[in-house]
Amino acid sequence: MGLTEYESKAYLSLTSLTSATALEVNETSGVPLSRLYDVLKSLHKKGFIEITRGKPLKYSVIPPQDVFKKARVKIKEELDEAEAEVKNIYESQISKSPAPIWLIYGTDKIVKKELEIIGRAKDTLHIAAGFMFQGELEKLDDALGKSLKKGVQTRIIAAPYNITDGEKIDISKGLNKLDCQMKTFQIPFIKALIRDKKEMMLIFSKFEDESVISQTAIGVWNKYTEFVETIADLYNLVWNMNLFTSYP
């Protein structure tokens, strides 16, 4: 909440008293009287208490629900601003990396990176979904829905279904509600995500008896523009072949 130790003690004391003089706050809070007046002025300035003129001055607590409501809004605004600044720094440095290829292990980290890539899309998204992890479809649906609202042209080639860790996942059915171009084809156990012809991620996993073993999954995140452009062109070439079941 941004209060000092003395401010916290004085505020909690006033909360129990509702309204009090400085001497009364001093007795219950333990804040030295020599410091208390400055502390109470600071609490007033920060919007935690009100001061009523008179002899002596009266200090009253603003209802805590009002204080906390305003504090939540302020904290959220500060967090959003900080996130935007750090994100800009992060994304500006990615492109400067001398070897922009990373290996990502673990389904949670892979899905998180997929959502980041989708969130950065400005013009196009090309997706090939030969398999999905448990719970991934819902997260992708939400992220892709936001991306489509921004006008990002999206193409998806999806397998009808796959088995992950012994459980069936209806891929094409899960994605078909999205307002984008989608085609269905039983592609191999691989996923590809290409964003604006600038970055892409390939996801591989071992499988056994036609079931993906999610704990073996690995993502290859690539920022080599020339390579990404080539793969995107190949994707569009395959897209135009008469191999798929199309959805509007």
Instruction: Write out the chain's pLDDT in tens, 248 residues.
Output: 778 999 999 999 998 888 889 999 998 898 998 999 999 999 999 889 999 988 888 999 988 888 888 888 888 888 888 888 887 776 666 555 555 789 999 999 999 999 999 999 999 999 999 999 999 999 999 999 999 999 999 999 999 999 999 999 999 889 988 999 999 988 888 899 999 999 999 999 998 988 999 999 999 999 888 889 999 999 998 888 876 655 44
Residue 38 lies in domain: 5-62
Total domain count, the chain: 3
pLDDT, tens digit (0-9, with 9 covering 90-100), for 46-103: 889 999 988 888 999 988 888 888 888 888 888 888 888 887 776 666 555 555 789 9
Query: Do 83 and 55 sit in the same domain of this protein?
Result: no
**Which bin fits 187, alpha (ψ -120 to 50), beta or left (φ > 0)?**
beta
In this prediction, residue 177 carries a pLDDT of: 86
Establish how many alpha carbons lie within 13 A of residue 241's alpha carbon, considering only the half-sphere containing its beta carbon: 9
First to last CA, the chain: 51
Query: Do 47 and 141 sit in the same domain of this protein?
Result: no
Domain limit, last residue, from 62, 80, 111: 62
Query: Do 42 and 104 sit in the same domain of this protein?
Result: no
> How many whole angstroms separate alpha carbon 164 and alpha carbon 173?
16
24: CATH: 1.10.10.10
234: CATH: 3.30.870.10
Query: Do 177 and 234 sit in the same domain of this protein?
Result: yes
Angle between helices 107-120 and 136-149 (to 10 degrees): 10
Query: Do 157 and 209 sit in the same domain of this protein?
Result: yes
Query: Do 190 and 110 sit in the same domain of this protein?
Result: yes
Instruction: Give the three-state DSSP class for 151.
Output: coil
Query: Do 129 and 204 sit in the same domain of this protein?
Result: yes
Query: Do 132 and 12 sit in the same domain of this protein?
Result: no
Structure tokens at 200: 């892409």
Query: Do 112 and 77 sit in the same domain of this protein?
Result: no
Element at 74 (helix H, strand E): helix 64-94
Query: Do 73 and 110 sit in the same domain of this protein?
Result: no
Query: Do 75 and 27 sit in the same domain of this protein?
Result: no
In this prediction, residue 99 carries a pLDDT of: 55
120 touches 96 (CB < 8 A): no
Query: Do 84 and 196 sit in the same domain of this protein?
Result: no
Q: Is 140 exposed, middle or buried (0-12, 13-18, 19+ CB in 10 A)?
A: buried
In this prediction, residue 64 carries a pLDDT of: 86
> How many whole angstroms separate alpha carbon 205 and alpha carbon 53?
71
> How many whole angstroms separate alpha carbon 82 and alpha carbon 203?
31
pTM (2 d.p.): 0.61
